[in-house]
Amino acid sequence: MADAVYTTEAISSGGGRDGRVRTDDGMIDQELKMPPGLGGPGGATNPEQLFAAAYATCFHGALRLVAGKKGVTVPDDATVSATVSLEPDDTSFHVAAVLVANLPGLGEYEANDLVKAAHQVCPYSKATRGNVDVTLKVTN
């Protein structure tokens, strides 16, 4: 990571999914609980929620980056949602994600083009490519 432009660290303690996660700067310091869907009590965040928040935010930034390079204005009220699921597989579970970009005022072709381009440059999309089933959707 000698050429990294930004590095951070998160530390999990107390039992993983039933514990705590904290970043090195303390900006995130969260209790974690298994969600009811996995047999837990809920009442606190979980890794899938944290990943969904991070992916939605990163993808939204990538969307605005590619739009700017193409000379397209993304409306201020545009949103990106990430739905992250755990799905059973042969050994335990795998992660799947659905990204929905709401781009009011943009035409269908232009919006789809931006979302596809964002998926090529988003660091989270790059990290998950070939490992996570990602579905892209666009709404206006």
What is the tens place of the pLDDT at every residue in 85-116? Answer: 999 999 999 999 999 999 999 999 999 999 99
Per-residue confidence band for 16, with pLDDT thresholds at 50, 70 and 90: confident
Rounded Cα distance, 72 and 65, in Å? 10
Cβ(22)–Cβ(31) below 8 Å: no
Q: Distance between CA 105 and CA 87 in Å, rounded?
A: 35
pLDDT band per the 50, 70, 90 thresholds, residue 59:
very high
- Domain(s) labelled CATH 3.30.300.20 in the chain stretch across 47-138
Q: pTM, whole model, 2 decimals? A: 0.94
Q: H helices within the chain, ranges in order?
A: 47-70, 108-121, 123-128
CA distances from 137 to 76, 104, 115 (A): 19, 13, 8
Give yes or no for a contact between 17 and 32, defined as CB atoms under 8 angstroms apart.
Answer: yes
CA pair distance 50, 122, nearest whole angstrom: 17
Q: Domain 1-45 adopts which CATH fold?
A: N-terminal domain of TfIIb (2.20.25)
Per CATH, domain 47-138 is 3.40.50.2300: no
State the span(s) of the chain assigned CATH 2.20.25.10.
Answer: 1-45
